[in-house]
Amino acid sequence: MEIKARAPGKIILAGEHAVVHGSTAVAASFDLCTLCSLRFHSDSENDDTLNLSLKSVGLEFSWSVGRIREALSHLGGPFLSTPTSCSTEAVRCIAALVEEQNFPEAKIGLATGVSAFLWLYTSIQGFKPATVVVTSDLPVGAGLGSSAAFCVSLTATLLAYSDSVSLDKNQQGWLAYGDSDLDLLNKWAFEGEKIIHGKPSGLDNTVSTYGM
């Protein structure tokens, strides 16, 4: 079974720089979105890899699940219902996994997003072979919340495959998370944003989570 989730970008109408320092900002979501799909590999596929395809920027990554487990299993997890910050040790271990992919120098600025992916995936789902495909209408680095939409849509697919949220996956069409589940999703997405930006305000992921 394949799960898909989408999350919108954001615009800040007022307080764009002050919000980082704890001041109030006025923001809204809009209808450009990031779409993430997740499919776990079946036993019959005999594919023990975790694959990440970032379609919009033309990047493909693949890790042996055994290699990821070797690098990260001592850090604990999965944490599921307890959003957890990526420790300094975890950052170092994940960075090593990203560096093994021979990241293109021209796109090295996206490496923190791949690190956020590895942290969110292993923290919520552990060490399972799967394929994750991400496409986006949002331009990278344009101040429109592309990283937050990435973290929110990714987290939504990961949590949908867990027992931490309540979704009827047998229905057809798009389903909405309930308020309590959105709170969990938002907290996890914020942990991804922290890996990408260091000290984000939390506004971007919150607007992306609750918008539209």
Catalytic positions are 204
> What SS3 state is found at 105?
helix
Contact 120, 188 (CB under 8 A): yes
Residue ranges of E strands in 15-120: 26-40, 49-54, 59-64
**Burial class of residue 51 (count of CB atoms within 10 Å of its CB; 0-12, 13-18, 19+):** middle
Contact 162, 70 (CB under 8 A): no
Relative to beta strand 130-136, strand 2-14 is unpaired
Contact 147, 85 (CB under 8 A): no
What is the amino acid identity at position 175? Answer: L
What is the amino acid identity at position 79? Answer: F
Can you read off the two tokens belonging to residue 87? 């420790």
Quick one: which H or E segment has residue 168? none
